[in-house]
A and B are shown apart, each in its own frame.
Chain A
Amino acid sequence: MSEEEIRSECAILEKSRKNPDEFGFLYKKYFDRIFGFIYRQTDDEDVAADLTSQTFLNALKNVDKFTFRGVPVSAWFYKIASNEVNRYYRKKKSDKTFSLEEDKVRNLYEQANDDWDDETINQLLGFMAKLPAEMLEVLNLRFFEDKDFKEIAFILDITESGAKMRAYRALDSLRRNFKLKIKYDGKG
């Protein structure tokens, strides 16, 4: 996303302080992505719909508090969504569920390794399930949402080096155990 686009979205957000109708453009543009992000972490469409609606409602309610920090407006939406998901699990008091799209996993795996078989994928998932949720959050944002480390740091409220460290550790252990050749950028 170019600097100009980021600025233009900030300007829309700025306008929506006075006129909430302006916010509709950002809602339409990012609804699907935020829904997908939440759905991947809840595996329930109705819950994802509620949390997505709550995410945008919170954004609209707090639009006055938004300050530009060099990241796209979407990162702010992801941050609110991430908080909503965490609140949902705190309330529900259950284990977190990540439901990954098969084609995306397959795509990621095929990029890194020629051999694809269900058993390996199951082993990979089993291994990933043992990773700390903090690491999975970084992997989710990095490889399924295509976020750069600056945005990931902003969304998860950690430092950029902290985000890189988490991604590195998760990938390093995947590489060692599954001979994957995935790099930071998700390429083999």
Chain B
Amino acid sequence: MGKVEIKIRKKILTPDNLQQYRDYPALLKKYERNKRFKRALRIFIYSLGLTMFVLALIFLGMWKVLEDKKREKINPEKAFLYLLKSPRNLSDTVLMELTSKSENDSMHIITYNSEKQITYQFPIDSSYNSFTNCKFIDSKLFNINGKNYTVIEYRIDDPKYLDDETYYFYSPDFGILHTQSMMWASKTLISVNHIEKDLIIKELVRSIQEKQNLDFE
């Protein structure tokens, strides 16, 4: 605290002197105005906070979509189907780009692009078996890291070759996971250029191969 100045004054304050300053209604009015202002300010701050929160959510959503798109651009989902134990000794890795994957009320339709474009039409269940030469055999659920993945087994009869049957194991999430044929090379999906998905695919393929003879017909 600084210096102090002390004065002596003759003037004495009396209730009559102070009457001009005593104004309770004015004080109440000021109080009400202040209260209204505070309430309005509080509403404004809450609204602002809520708006900011909603905007943040929108931006976060947009950012996530953009990031996903960016990631998709950098790492387009490509399926590598690996040829296993070919009877004609044609073991090789082929790059098959998954160009489209869709589903209607009767079929899973999946298209790969390799040297040429191949489209597969897999029936959703056995009631649509008569629609194509691809037959729905069975469907199984596999639980990996707490999430269920459906794998459907199909049999495709090639009319050109007698007794040629190829079994396809299809995942609505990842496409064709594994094929098994007596005539042609077996194929296994080994990567879609995505670390986490690749681990799931690896586990699914392992499960298919392990249970193939037990669970799938």
Q: Provide the bound-state CA to CA distance between A57 and B30, in Å.
A: 8
Interface-located stretch among B3-11, B98-106, B136-144, B159-167? B3-11
Interface-located stretch among A2-10, A48-56, A74-82, A149-157? A48-56
Q: Which of B24-47 contact A (CB under 8 A)?
A: 24, 26-28, 30-32, 34-35
| CB pair B31 A60 closer than 8 Å | yes
Nearest A residue (CB) for B23: A53
Chain A binding site: helix, strand, loop or mixed by DSSP? helix
Q: Which of A13-49 contact B (CB under 8 A)?
A: 20-21, 24, 27-28, 31-32, 35-36, 39, 43, 45, 49
| CB pair A28 B22 closer than 8 Å | yes
Q: Provide the bound-state CA to CA distance between A60 and B26, in Å.
A: 13
Chain A residues positioned under 8 Å from B1 (CB to CB): 96, 132-134
Chain B binding site: helix, strand, loop or mixed by DSSP? mixed
Tell me if B13 is interfacial: C-beta within 8 Å of chain A: yes
| CB pair B6 A61 closer than 8 Å | no
Chain B residues positioned under 8 Å from A60 (CB to CB): 27, 31
Task: Kindly provide the distance from the CB of B94 to the nearest chain A CB, expressed in whole angstroms.
Answer: 77
| CB pair B12 A97 closer than 8 Å | no
Task: Kindly provide the distance from the CB of B64 to the nearest chain A CB, expressed in whole angstroms.
Answer: 45
Interface-located stretch among A65-73, A98-106, A164-172, A177-185? A98-106
Task: Kindly provide the distance from the CB of A20 to the nearest chain B CB, expressed in whole angstroms.
Answer: 6
Chain A residues positioned under 8 Å from B13 (CB to CB): 32, 35-36, 39
| CB pair B28 A98 closer than 8 Å | no
Q: Provide the bound-state CA to CA distance between A95 and B5, in Å.
A: 7
Nearest B residue (CB) for A125: B6
Tell me if B214 is interfacial: C-beta within 8 Å of chain A: no
Q: Provide the bound-state CA to CA distance between A129 and B7, in Å.
A: 9
| CB pair B18 A35 closer than 8 Å | yes
Q: Which of B61-119 contact A (CB under 8 A)?
A: none
Tell me if A158 is interfacial: C-beta within 8 Å of chain B: no
Residue in A24, A97, A126 whose beta carbon sits within 8 Å of that of B24 in the complex: A24
Q: Provide a sorted-by-A list of 16 A–B residue pairs whose CB atoms are within 8 angstroms.
A: A20-B31, A24-B28, A27-B24, A27-B27, A31-B22, A43-B7, A45-B21, A57-B30, A61-B31, A95-B5, A97-B4, A99-B9, A100-B6, A103-B12, A128-B6, A136-B4
User: Told that A31-B21, A35-B21, A95-B4 touch, could you supply 13 new A-B pairs with CB distance under 8 A?
Assistant: A39-B13, A43-B9, A53-B26, A96-B5, A98-B4, A100-B6, A100-B7, A100-B9, A103-B12, A125-B6, A126-B6, A129-B5, A136-B4
